Amino acid sequence: MESSVPSTATSVIWHIVWQLVQGNDLTSPEVAGRIRARLLSVHRRPGRELLHYLLTPTEMHLLSRLPASESPSEVAPAIGNMVARWVRAERHVSGAVLAGRFRAYAIESDDAARDELRILAWRPVTLGLCKVPTHHVTSSLRESLGLRRIDGFNILNPLRLFGPDFPDNRSALAASVARRPGLVDMRRWELARGMVRAPGDAGTVSSVTRPVKGLAAALVAASQPQGIDGALLLLERWVLARMGLREGADLALPHSLAGARVHALVAILAVQLELCSAASVARHFRRAKATLSERMAASRGEPRDQVLLGLPLKRIVDEAVDLRTRTTASWKKLSRPRTTR
């Protein structure tokens, strides 16, 4: 799977990721050394730059700058096929090593690439493999920071993301990595990159999970409970706030016109965000799918609803997440024990 590429770009930074079947391990010294040599070899072609790599026992991540004329599909098979062969040879097994095909995500800007590298630097800490990013030995972070040297890895490739001048750019990289991503930011990244799936099938007690990406991942990551139902609750809260309705109002009554309108707007936004289907929203609100669909059609033609639906989706998600953050902060303040003098 590959995400889209801006048509005017001369080069594109890609995050390419593989996940392994449980029980395999990429971090043994022999396998890790072979993988590192393979990554360097594949990126020797003119126009290709290896910006960062990370190996964990069950994940392999690359940040690669490729010419716009090249696709990750021209790079990834030459890496994944050999990695699978080496792991099978070391473990003396013949089964599957990689858990499906590689995934590739186009990174839209150098700012986004810097954030991506910071998240990857902290990934081993999140997985419980080490306490600080520089302690993880099977990544290129130590090379980029000057803590270790490996022949063939051009440290200027990642450092150029942080400025043109050395060693100022190395200091900027160190400062960036020193800022640990928050739990919500890390969960959003895990969801958007397919490392985890959103729990729950809306409106059911099913253990089914589903992939989410982009703005939908941001909603799920910020929701409580984290999942499709939690994200729908965030959207409902945003719609209520925009309509000037108080939270806690009983909108589920059979003849509640306000409730029907709120639920329809939530369903339209959920579909636009690719969070879930309208049928899932109907189950979540315990409404008939046909009734909800009729109300959705009416809302799309209603001027006051068109105003809400015409807002940029990113703004809607940002405001919904901000509502959640402010509500949580207010609850913590109210629940804090009072002290007397």
Residue span of the structural domain in which 198 resides: 185-330
Q: Same domain for 150 and 15? A: yes
Query: Which candidate, 216, 284, 205, 228, places its Cα nearest to that of 251?
Result: 284
**What distance in Å separates the CA atoms of residue 193 and residue 5, rounded to the nearest whole number?**
16
Q: Same domain for 137 and 212? A: no
Q: Same domain for 119 and 254? A: no
**pLDDT (mean) for 201-217:** 71
Q: Same domain for 227 and 299? A: yes
Number of structural domains, the chain?
2
Render pLDDT for 296-323 as a digit per residue (tens, 0 to 9): 999 999 999 999 999 999 999 999 988 8
Q: Same domain for 175 and 192? A: no
CB-based contacts of 196-202 (< 8 A; 24+ apart in sequence): 198/226, 198/227, 198/228, 198/231, 199/225, 199/226, 199/227, 199/228, 200/225, 200/227, 200/228, 200/229, 201/228, 201/280, 201/283, 202/228, 202/229, 202/232, 202/276, 202/280, 202/281, 202/283, 202/284
CA 260 to chain centre: 32
Render pLDDT for 60-109 as a digit per residue (tens, 0 to 9): 999 999 999 999 999 999 999 999 899 888 888 888 888 889 999 999 89
Q: Give the CA diameter of the chain.
A: 72
Mean pLDDT is lowest, of 28-32, 150-154, 230-234, 334-338, for: 334-338
Record the pTM. Answer: 0.77
CA 263 to chain centre: 27
Q: Same domain for 196 and 292? A: yes
At position 105, the amino acid (one-letter code) is: Y
Q: Same domain for 103 and 248? A: no
Q: H/E element holding 15?
A: strand 11-19
* 335 part of a folded domain: no
Q: Are 115 and 185 in contact (CB under 8 A)?
A: no
